[in-house]
Amino acid sequence: MSSRERVSSVAAAIALVLAGCAGDGPGPGSASGDFAEIQTEIFDVSCISAGCHGAVSPQGGLTLVAGLSYDQLVDVEPTNAFARDMGLLRVAPGLVDDSYLVRKLTGNLTPGEGIRMPQGAAPLSDDQIQLVISWIADGAPPPSDEPTPTPDVQ
Protein backbone atom coordinates (compact mmCIF):
# COMPACT_ATOMS: atom_id res chain seq x y z
CA MET A 1 0.00 0.00 0.00
CA SER A 2 1.44 3.37 -0.99
CA SER A 3 1.82 6.21 1.45
CA ARG A 4 -0.97 8.11 -0.30
CA GLU A 5 -3.34 5.12 -0.08
CA ARG A 6 -2.48 4.66 3.58
CA VAL A 7 -3.25 8.33 4.31
CA SER A 8 -6.56 8.03 2.42
CA SER A 9 -7.48 4.91 4.41
CA VAL A 10 -6.65 6.59 7.70
CA ALA A 11 -8.60 9.71 6.71
CA ALA A 12 -11.63 7.60 5.81
CA ALA A 13 -11.45 5.78 9.15
CA ILE A 14 -11.17 9.05 11.03
CA ALA A 15 -14.16 10.44 9.13
CA LEU A 16 -16.26 7.62 10.52
CA VAL A 17 -15.14 8.34 14.07
CA LEU A 18 -14.96 12.11 14.29
CA ALA A 19 -17.67 14.68 13.73
CA GLY A 20 -16.07 17.81 15.17
CA CYS A 21 -17.11 21.20 13.87
CA ALA A 22 -14.15 23.25 12.68
CA GLY A 23 -12.07 21.42 15.25
CA ASP A 24 -14.24 22.59 18.14
CA GLY A 25 -16.60 19.61 18.23
CA PRO A 26 -16.38 16.56 20.39
CA GLY A 27 -13.38 14.29 20.17
CA PRO A 28 -13.44 10.67 19.14
CA GLY A 29 -16.81 9.10 19.64
CA SER A 30 -19.51 7.33 17.73
CA ALA A 31 -19.85 9.46 14.60
CA SER A 32 -22.64 7.49 13.05
CA GLY A 33 -23.71 9.84 10.28
CA ASP A 34 -27.01 10.17 12.14
CA PHE A 35 -29.01 13.22 11.09
CA ALA A 36 -29.32 14.41 14.70
CA GLU A 37 -25.52 14.50 14.87
CA ILE A 38 -25.33 16.48 11.62
CA GLN A 39 -27.91 18.88 13.04
CA THR A 40 -26.04 19.58 16.27
CA GLU A 41 -22.47 19.42 15.00
CA ILE A 42 -22.86 21.16 11.63
CA PHE A 43 -26.17 22.94 11.05
CA ASP A 44 -26.55 24.42 14.55
CA VAL A 45 -22.94 25.61 14.63
CA SER A 46 -22.13 26.61 11.05
CA CYS A 47 -25.46 27.33 9.35
CA ILE A 48 -27.83 28.75 11.94
CA SER A 49 -25.39 30.61 14.17
CA ALA A 50 -24.42 32.93 11.31
CA GLY A 51 -28.10 33.73 10.83
CA CYS A 52 -28.18 32.43 7.26
CA HIS A 53 -30.50 29.44 7.59
CA GLY A 54 -32.31 30.23 10.81
CA ALA A 55 -36.07 30.56 11.13
CA VAL A 56 -36.10 34.30 10.36
CA SER A 57 -35.48 35.15 6.68
CA PRO A 58 -33.66 31.93 5.74
CA GLN A 59 -31.35 32.25 2.74
CA GLY A 60 -32.47 30.30 -0.31
CA GLY A 61 -35.72 29.53 1.48
CA LEU A 62 -33.85 26.87 3.49
CA THR A 63 -34.37 26.65 7.23
CA LEU A 64 -31.89 24.40 9.01
CA VAL A 65 -33.41 24.74 12.47
CA ALA A 66 -33.80 21.50 14.42
CA GLY A 67 -37.21 19.98 13.86
CA LEU A 68 -37.59 21.67 10.47
CA SER A 69 -34.32 20.98 8.66
CA TYR A 70 -34.91 17.34 7.68
CA ASP A 71 -38.17 18.12 5.87
CA GLN A 72 -36.56 21.17 4.26
CA LEU A 73 -33.75 19.05 2.81
CA VAL A 74 -34.77 15.51 1.91
CA ASP A 75 -36.45 15.04 -1.48
CA VAL A 76 -36.88 18.82 -1.87
CA GLU A 77 -35.96 20.74 -5.01
CA PRO A 78 -33.53 23.59 -4.43
CA THR A 79 -34.64 27.16 -5.09
CA ASN A 80 -31.56 27.63 -7.30
CA ALA A 81 -32.82 27.36 -10.89
CA PHE A 82 -29.54 25.99 -12.27
CA ALA A 83 -29.47 23.18 -9.71
CA ARG A 84 -33.14 22.40 -10.33
CA ASP A 85 -32.57 22.31 -14.11
CA MET A 86 -29.75 19.80 -13.51
CA GLY A 87 -32.25 17.55 -11.71
CA LEU A 88 -30.63 17.98 -8.30
CA LEU A 89 -32.50 17.78 -5.02
CA ARG A 90 -31.31 19.46 -1.85
CA VAL A 91 -30.75 15.90 -0.58
CA ALA A 92 -31.41 12.91 -2.82
CA PRO A 93 -31.44 9.87 -0.49
CA GLY A 94 -28.81 7.37 -1.56
CA LEU A 95 -27.63 9.63 -4.39
CA VAL A 96 -24.70 11.73 -3.22
CA ASP A 97 -23.95 13.08 -6.72
CA ASP A 98 -27.55 14.30 -7.11
CA SER A 99 -27.57 16.12 -3.76
CA TYR A 100 -27.14 19.88 -4.00
CA LEU A 101 -26.17 20.04 -0.32
CA VAL A 102 -22.99 18.07 -1.05
CA ARG A 103 -22.11 20.35 -3.97
CA LYS A 104 -22.59 23.43 -1.77
CA LEU A 105 -20.47 22.00 1.04
CA THR A 106 -17.63 20.74 -1.18
CA GLY A 107 -17.56 23.71 -3.56
CA ASN A 108 -18.03 21.37 -6.53
CA LEU A 109 -20.33 23.86 -8.25
CA THR A 110 -20.95 24.90 -11.82
CA PRO A 111 -21.50 28.54 -12.76
CA GLY A 112 -24.93 29.65 -11.64
CA GLU A 113 -25.18 27.30 -8.65
CA GLY A 114 -24.00 29.87 -6.15
CA ILE A 115 -21.05 29.70 -3.80
CA ARG A 116 -19.58 27.23 -1.35
CA MET A 117 -21.15 27.08 2.09
CA PRO A 118 -20.87 28.14 4.80
CA GLN A 119 -20.66 31.59 3.24
CA GLY A 120 -18.19 33.98 4.83
CA ALA A 121 -16.69 31.28 7.04
CA ALA A 122 -14.11 28.53 6.78
CA PRO A 123 -15.31 25.50 4.82
CA LEU A 124 -16.41 22.49 6.79
CA SER A 125 -13.70 19.96 7.55
CA ASP A 126 -13.32 16.90 5.34
CA ASP A 127 -14.61 14.82 8.27
CA GLN A 128 -17.76 16.93 8.55
CA ILE A 129 -18.41 16.73 4.82
CA GLN A 130 -17.86 12.97 4.93
CA LEU A 131 -20.41 12.72 7.74
CA VAL A 132 -23.03 14.36 5.49
CA ILE A 133 -22.00 12.24 2.49
CA SER A 134 -22.25 9.03 4.55
CA TRP A 135 -25.71 9.99 5.79
CA ILE A 136 -26.93 10.67 2.25
CA ALA A 137 -25.30 7.50 0.87
CA ASP A 138 -27.08 5.52 3.62
CA GLY A 139 -30.43 6.77 2.31
CA ALA A 140 -30.70 9.98 4.40
CA PRO A 141 -32.63 8.39 7.26
CA PRO A 142 -34.57 10.73 9.55
CA PRO A 143 -33.28 11.60 13.00
CA SER A 144 -33.58 8.65 15.34
CA ASP A 145 -35.56 10.76 17.82
CA GLU A 146 -38.28 11.48 15.24
CA PRO A 147 -40.71 8.80 14.11
CA THR A 148 -40.40 7.59 10.55
CA PRO A 149 -43.53 8.57 8.61
CA THR A 150 -45.78 5.64 7.75
CA PRO A 151 -48.23 5.54 4.88
CA ASP A 152 -51.90 5.98 5.69
CA VAL A 153 -53.72 2.68 5.67
CA GLN A 154 -57.34 2.82 4.55
Residues 11 and 39: their CA atoms lie apart, in Å, by 22
Reported pTM: 0.72
- CB of 27 within 8 A of CB of 20? yes
- pLDDT by residue (tens digit) across 114-148? 999 999 889 999 999 999 999 999 999 998 765 44
Chain mean position to CA 146: 18
- Determine what percent of the chain is predicted with pLDDT higher than 90: 60
Angle at 146 between CA 140 and CA 150, to 5 degrees: 80
* Residues of the chain under the 70 pLDDT cut: 1-33, 50, 145-154
Q: How far apart are CA 121 and CA 133, in angstroms?
A: 20
Kindly write down the DSSP assignment for every residue of 61-102, as one continuous string: G----TTTHHHHHBT---S-HHHHHTT-BSB-TT-GGGBHHH
In this prediction, residue 27 carries a pLDDT of 37
